[in-house]
Amino acid sequence: MIAEIASNARVDAAWRVLATVLDPEVPAVSVCELGIVRDVIDHDNLLEIVLTPTYSGCPATEVIEHDVLQAIAAAGLGPARATLRRAPAWTTDWISAEGRAKLLAYGIVPPGPALSAEVPIRFFPRTAKTVALACPRCGSHGTERLAAFGSTACKATWRCLACQEPFEHFKPI
């Protein structure tokens, strides 16, 4: 019973530490707020941190794994390993409400809900209309998409026609 309480306290402490690890591509949100950290498991004397990358080719995966393990070590929580779990695939629905608010405050429009798994994938021609997003700076809906991809593959580049400021939109996936 005492060992179980110690294990729970260690897992709780690990979650608190991981909540401070910022995403290297969007340093306004933590890897926990983005839903990348899926689980923390205590295997006696080894903490397993389960990570799901935002997509399989994400260039920040190794940096995130390094930062997570470094934070756990710096907190003195003992030996740890990171496990990459790619199934189920990460979805923008895993971003917490706090994460969405921080993205918006940072100037990135957070994604809307992703399509349900029961909805079949539909392909649209490049000329398909996009729904105008509200500018994160002035709130105007007079916006246009400039590019399907922004600074990373998971973001698109937009511009506000009212204030002329560019901004990014975290695409729902």
Q: Quick one: three-class SS letters along the chain? A: CHHHHHHHHHHHHHHHHHCCCECCCCCCCECCCCCCEEEEEEECCEEEEEECCCCCCCCCHHHHHHHHHHHHHHCCCCCEEEEECCCCCCCHHHCCHHHHHHHHHHCEECCCCCCCCCCCCCCCCCCCCCCCCCCCCCCCCCEEEEECCCCCCCEEEEEECCCCCEEEEECCC
Residue pair 67/24 in contact by the 8 Å Cβ criterion: yes
| Parallel/antiparallel/unpaired status of strands 80-84 and 108-109 | unpaired
In tens, the pLDDT along 3-45 reads: 454 668 999 999 999 999 999 999 999 999 999 999 999 998 8
Residue pair 64/31 in contact by the 8 Å Cβ criterion: yes
| Per-residue pLDDT band at 112 (split at 50, 70, 90) | confident
pLDDT at position 171 = 86
pLDDT at position 118 = 57
Q: Which domains does the chain have, with CATH numbers?
A: 2-90 (3.30.300.130), 107-170 (no CATH)
| Per-residue pLDDT band at 59 (split at 50, 70, 90) | confident
Q: How far is CA 100 from the centre of its chain?
A: 9
With vertex at residue 67, the alpha carbon angle to CA 104 and CA 94, rounded to the nearest 5 degrees, is: 40
Reference 12, options 63, 77, 68; nearest CA is: 77
